[in-house]
Amino acid sequence: MRKTFALGALGAATLLSGCLSSGSNDRVDLEKVESLVDRANEASVAAVEDLPSNASMTGYVALSDYEDNEFIGDMSMNADFAGSTISGTASNFGQFKCDTECEDIDDLERVADLGGSLELTGGISGSEFDGSLGGDLTRREGGETGTATLALDVEGDFLMDDAGLIADAGLEGSATFDDEPDGIDLYGRFIVAE
């Protein structure tokens, strides 16, 4: 069953829904992102019999906090179909904001680089996968370092096109902070491919 992940107007949605403009934000190659998004949007759900025993994939992840913060980074994922497990890492995050109304990716202003990484774990059932993506991201500001602990649920599909295997997942969860234990809600999407 192919899932459709409806995201917001920018950030996670704009970056990973095909509504991209050209350009660079020093962390993410937008042309590569656009190409990957196009592949995922045009691909079909993979037939179980076509899945390999193992696949290593790379791509991008984008998260949003329902306000004006966007978090964009690199994503890697290994799918062990023989063992029915997934694993991976999200890293090299940047934080972006819009000073005015966001209409496309070029409206985002880079405000910080984030340290740390998120770990992906989960399982595979047929051409679908689920699991969790979590860990700590840090940001230095004014000589001090703040830490956010993220915990996200992952639900996605394995897709196939002429170029190979793609994994497309929706993300939903929260982040808590040193000084704000109640935290904030997050949503997002990642797309990785061979």
Task: Tell me how crowded residue 104 is: count the other CB atoms within 10 A of its CB.
Answer: 12
7 inside domain: no
Q: Taking residues 100-120, what's their average pLDDT?
A: 76
At 113, which amino acid appears? D
pLDDT per position as a tens digit, 9-20: 233 444 443 333
State the CATH number of the domain containing residue 27.
2.40.160
Q: Nearest-5° angle of CA 39, CA 11, CA 162?
A: 5
Assess contact for 16 and 33: CB atoms under 8 A. Answer: yes
User: What global pTM score does this model have?
Assistant: 0.83
Residue-number span of the structural domain to which 20 is assigned: 12-193
Read off φ and ψ for residue 27, nearest 5 degrees: -120, -35
Task: Pull the structure tokens for residue 100.
Answer: 């005015």
Assess contact for 156 and 3: CB atoms under 8 A. Answer: yes
Instruction: Please determine, for residue 120, whether its predicted confidence score (pLDDT) is greater than 90.
Output: yes
66 inside domain: yes
Share of the chain above pLDDT 90, in %: 52
pLDDT per position as a tens digit, 48-62: 999 999 999 999 998
pLDDT per position as a tens digit, 28-39: 666 677 788 889
Q: Nearest-5° angle of CA 124, CA 130, CA 133?
A: 125
Provide the mean pLDDT of the chain.
81
